[in-house]
Copies of this chain bind each other. A is one copy, B any other.
Amino acid sequence: MSSRNIYEMDLSQNAANYAALTPLSFLERAASVYPLHTSVIHGKTSYTWSQTYARSCLLASALVGMGIGKGDTVSFMGANTPETFEAHFGVPMTGAVLNALNVRLDAKAIAFILGHAETKILFTDREYSETIKAALLLMDKPPLVIDIDDQEYSGGELLGEQTYEDVLQQGDPNYRCFQIDDEWQAISLNYTSGTTGDPKGVVYHHRGAYLNAISNGLCWDLVSHPVYLWTLPMFHCNGWCFPWTLAAVAGTNVCLRHVRDDAVFAAIKEYQVTHFCGAPVVLNTLVNAADELKAGIAHQVKAMTAGAAPPAAVIAGMENMGFSVTHVYGLTETYGPCVVSAPQDDWAELTIEERAERVARQGVRAPLQDELMVADPESMVPVPKDGKTMGEIFMRGNIVMKGYLKNPATTEKSFAGGWFHSGDLAVWHADGYVEIKDRSKDIIISGGENISSLEVESVLFKHPNILEAAVVASSDEKWGEVPCAFVTLKKGAELSAEELVAYCREELAGFKIPKKVCFGPIDKTSTGKVQKYLLRERAETISKVANN
């Protein structure tokens, strides 16, 4: 080793050879290279990339004029509309942080978040005026409110003194910004939907947003100019960073306010949508849609799914429709997806069911995620890649949050030992693919045996009459816990609890068979995650199926 390092002499960073990584640069490039390419379509409105850049710059300069700058929070209670998309660029241009709110939260949760985030300005869509109105009443020091007055939506009321478009009018048309000083600077703040307790504020930075935006493209083999349908809410981990991905590949964003099967299929046909993301429940809705909705799609459509392990039956159903499915996995803390069930060449030779089983595993680290392991939660020693030994999923690298806002204790705990603790329990297969067996709290322990609620759900999903299923633990005097199944049947289908139990007996070991069954709708969060804590409460009140 040299005593002097010649590669560190007079070779320092300067303005010519170093720029902070920021997804803002993707927008500037899309606008300058593809100025006339359509960036956003929303009903009768559409914009080009040069217009989207110009509008984002107007937003930024108007915000600067209102005193917004580095370290400030700007919240958006927005639908999947051009305004929310533009906010992903215009807000960070000022140095401020975008806090996209989960529009399905209640007033109390919104008030908590706006207070905790110290929001200076809140933009809010008319659709959510009732919630916001109530939330503002709960606050001592409410933020300045600006309305998003979407002409494509009627209903709700205007709460502030000016609208988003009024604000743009105040912007400087000559303002341009696509660079920042510090790539570690915060870009956005996303509150976990959390099952209990106050939500935690997850902080993303420009570097991570830049890298995950690209990683999304790499793990989906995305090429230039995709047509992307916004079935995923933009407030959900910043739409898994896809607003920035779409700028990087100069694609077209097709906005969608409400995810309904007819609207999704209509958009796919009208705009020749090539890509969309969504929770498995979205895919399930499409698979179970009426045949006439599905007819008439001749082009390849690619879906990316995450948020829960998609039942193999759903993946197979999508493939049967001619849609390809990429299964990814991540958490709010990892900018959304940072693990992908990367397809292997030899999967092409499998049957559709076998392939679906492979795809349903969470997978391997996404292209730009740095490290992933399944390890003992205490010792952090990696488990063997035997497909059996259970451990916790840990990640580390650039696609892990900056930390929780104003919560150093939880931040420190979640990063203990130099890895992010996901809280998800999984096995590690011989081929390096991770498969989630459960959230630690979703494991059912019956008579000392562990039951994976996912395994039971996966069996239920295969039943031809079942649309959706969720399984939780219910306390039991004899066994400690027993599985309780919540089941939604397909339209017009019939199934009794006894028939369901008999079906399970063919597929599952006796101790894994649901001892309680409840038919009807399943409680879900606004992002489509099943709310198991609610189901667990309900399960306690349900009686056992006779002779089971």
Contact = CB atoms under 8 A, between A and B. Distances in A.
Interface of A: 1-2, 4-11, 13-19, 21, 25-26, 29, 32-35, 37, 67-73, 97, 118, 179, 184-186, 189, 203, 208, 214, 217-218, 221, 223-225, 248-249, 342, 344-345, 364-365, 367, 370-371, 395-398, 400-403, 405-406, 408, 411, 414-415, 418-420, 432
Contacts of A97: 7
Contacts of A14: 415, 418
A140 to B, nearest CB: 18
Contacts of A400: 16-17
A512 B32 CA distance: 34
Contacts of A185: 7
A349 to B, nearest CB: 14
Contacts of A249: 218
Contacts of A25: 370
Given A29-B367, A218-B217, A223-B223, A71 B16 contact: no
B10 A411 contact: yes
Nearest to A72: B2
Given A14-B418, A29-B365, A37-B345, 4 more contacts: A7-B405, A17-B208, A34-B342, A225-B345
Contact of A67 (B1, B4, B402): B1
A396 B16 CA distance: 4
A238 to B, nearest CB: 15
Most buried by B among A179, A208, A370, A432: A370
A3 to B, nearest CB: 9
A68 B419 CA distance: 30
A16 B70 contact: no
11 contacts: A1-B67, A1-B72, A2-B70, A2-B72, A7-B71, A7-B189, A14-B415, A17-B403, A32-B364, A33-B364, A225-B345
A370 B32 contact: no
Given A7-B186, A224-B221, A342-B33, A17 B402 contact: yes
Contacts of A402: 7, 11, 17
A16 B419 contact: yes
A6 B71 contact: yes
A225 B365 CA distance: 17
Nearest to A32: B432
Contact of A17 (B18, B69, B72, B401): B401
Most buried by B among A11, A33, A208, A218: A11
A16 B418 contact: yes
A19 B414 CA distance: 17
Contacts of A395: 16
A17 B396 contact: yes
A433 to B, nearest CB: 9
B203 A11 contact: yes
A214 B415 CA distance: 29
A12 to B, nearest CB: 8
B10 A203 contact: no
Nearest to A22: B370
Contacts of A13: 184
B33 A432 contact: yes
Given A15-B396, A29-B365, A184-B13, A1 B418 contact: no
A15 B418 contact: yes
Given A367-B29, A396-B16, A419-B16, A406 B72 contact: no
Contacts of A26: 367
List of 7 A-B pairs having minimum Cβ-Cβ separation, nearest first? A5-B71, A15-B418, A7-B186, A1-B69, A10-B408, A221-B223, A16-B415
A67 B2 CA distance: 9
Contact of A411 (B11, B29, B67): B11
A344 B34 CA distance: 8
Nearest to A248: B367
A31 to B, nearest CB: 10
A13 B9 CA distance: 26
A15 B417 CA distance: 8
B10 A403 contact: yes
A188 to B, nearest CB: 10
A26 B432 CA distance: 16
B419 A8 contact: no
A14 B411 CA distance: 11
Contacts of A71: 1-2, 4-8
Contacts of A364: 29, 32-33
A359 to B, nearest CB: 15
A408 B6 CA distance: 12
A419 B16 CA distance: 4
Contacts of A367: 26, 29, 248
